[in-house]
Chains A and B, each alone.
Chain A
Amino acid sequence: MRTAFINELINLARENERIFLLVADLGFSVVEPFAEEFPTRYLNVGIAEQNMAGIAAGLAMEDYCVFIYSIGNFPTLRCIEQIRNDITYHDLDVKIVAVGGGYSYAALGPSHHTTEELGMMRTIPGLIVCAPGDPDETRMLIRHLVTHRGPAYIRLGKAGEPKVHERLGSEVRIERIGQILPVIQASDSSSIAVFSTGSMLDYCASYLPAHGIMASLYSFPFVKPINREQLLDLFQTYDLIITIEEHQRSAGFGSAVIEMLHDFMTERALSKVPTIRRIAIDDLFISCAGTQSYLREQAGLCLKPEYFQSNEIHRNQHP
């Protein structure tokens, strides 16, 4: 995803002289082509994320479209007040990019596990929060976000993720903020769907066919906002929905989905209420070494065949 990101950013910077890239001394073998091609629109501020976020605000006040780039929690948690006060409160055109979402840097330990930031970013008013699912989503997302003047956070995986949409033949077209992307469309008889955000997508897209499970799969490149009409339609279509994210259970993607479900119920917008199972990290730090998939297993970020049984559906609910 980071390769897709930087390549697309370079493409966009050739067309758009507003684009400026700030890094906090990270991005080895990633950002160099941008720095070489656009030296007047690139700056390494040093290991100083608070300063980077403030500088980004200043540049954006002068009409640059600023991307700030670092890894893990550094461009978010380390400078969350600058993101809130300087960037988002001032409604500035700054895109905050974190590489290494979830357990991408698994073996590096909890300091590098990026598993709370979606929730933290999601509560900041006016901040768009994104977690694309594969390189093509990343590319389309970046291209679309540049047309939107305002702050956004983008969680990326690392490098080398497979192109899920290309493998499955699903279309990746992001035309509006909040869009939900269909990935697998099960037959009409299936009333089960998996909602995935971020780089859990490849796992889900591999798991479902491998286990012969008839369920639809949707990718949510936006954790906030989520398109209201699309989501309402999905709630009406499916009886059982499984959300999956590489994030703590609190305040993340699954929380956003059930919050919206509840609001729809309050508004009496639903004729039926789907059962929702959330797969997320259960309030845990994981301090053992391991690969990303190992840590995902340790955290319980796994689909299981029993989750898709019809008795999972609680039918006696009323809107």
Chain B
Amino acid sequence: MSNESLNLANEIRRTALKMVHRANASHIGGAFSMTDILAVMYSEILRLDPAAPKWPERDRFLLSKGHACSAHYAVLGLKGFFDLSELDGYASNGSRFISHTSYHIPGVEFSAGSLGHALPVACGLAVAGKRRQQNWRVYCLVSDGELDEGSNWEAILFAPQQQLDNLILIVDYNKIQSLGFVKDVIDLEPLAEKFTSFGWSVIEINGHDHAEIFESLSTSPEPGKPTVIIAHTVKGKGVDFMENKLLWHYKSPDASQLQEALGQIC
């Protein structure tokens, strides 16, 4: 692995910080917890062509936690899917960059916002890929809190039944959801065992270690089984005063917090 993904992660964080500061927008904590995963995926894993976002042979990536779109838009802009300067208008009047992922943005496959929607859609894509014997893969990134949604568990039951080994689910397990710690709201544990018992191939990683992320995403799938990567992450990762703080699900950095945060990301 090169340093590309590490550099990209820094750029994503810096870009997203400026976006949410300008827009006075929320959800930077959840954007940062998945940033390293995005950085590795977009620099090393996903087969994509920024000049042809609908290239038929591309891998399909669906972000289910659409509220963390600042990091997704940032990586797409940094990879050249659109002019990065467009993000200056993020969440402002008339901008196509709304503060949940929008499929109107080049490189975004699916609009999210309401939780528990992307995984069933990813299953549909994976079925299509299987039925048409395509080589591309389907990646879906969900939050930990949204695993409370029953629709996800319908899909988690479904994917092994259909032997969707072209489907890779990534759980951004930052341990904090909207009103508190996951373990206190609806405890997901034992999460790995749950997925195993449902028939998934399970990999657990440190979701900020780029080598681990790369290795998990590069592993050949177990034939006939969908893969879930449970990525243990830290909400607000990269900025010390944001890390592991529920507040940064909501709060937007003011001017001095922005400068302090940017100073920590280098």
Contact = CB atoms under 8 A, between A and B. Distances in A.
B117 A48 contact: no
Interface stretch (B122-130, B215-223, B246-254): B122-130
A22 B204 CA distance: 33
Interface string A37-73: 0001101011010111111111111101000000000
Given A48-B158, A62-B132, A54 B119 contact: yes
A51 B109 contact: no
A51 B155 contact: yes
A41 to B, nearest CB: 8
B57 interface: no
B65 to A, nearest CB: 14
A314 B83 CA distance: 62
Contacts, number: 86
A90 interface: yes
Given A40-B131, A54-B155, A61 B109 contact: yes
A58 B154 contact: no
B150 interface: yes
A62 B157 CA distance: 22
Given A40-B131, A48-B158, A61-B124, A54 B117 contact: yes
B131 A55 contact: no
Contacts of B113: 85
Instruction: Output the residue of A46, A51, A57 with the most chain B CB within 10 A.
Output: A51
A46 B127 contact: no
Nearest to B126: A58
B117 A85 contact: yes
Instruction: Output the residue of B114, B121, B150 with the most chain A CB within 10 A.
Output: B121
A90 B154 contact: no
Nearest to A63: B128
B103 interface: yes
A111 B193 CA distance: 36
Nearest to A44: B161
A53 B114 CA distance: 15
A20 B122 CA distance: 17
21 contacts: A40-B131, A45-B158, A48-B158, A50-B120, A51-B158, A54-B119, A54-B121, A54-B124, A55-B120, A55-B121, A55-B127, A58-B128, A59-B128, A61-B128, A62-B128, A62-B129, A64-B128, A81-B114, A82-B117, A85-B114, A90-B111
Interface of A: 40-41, 43, 45-46, 48, 50-62, 64, 81-82, 85-86, 89-90
* 7 tightest A-B CB contacts, nearest first: A58-B124, A54-B120, A62-B128, A51-B154, A55-B124, A48-B154, A58-B125
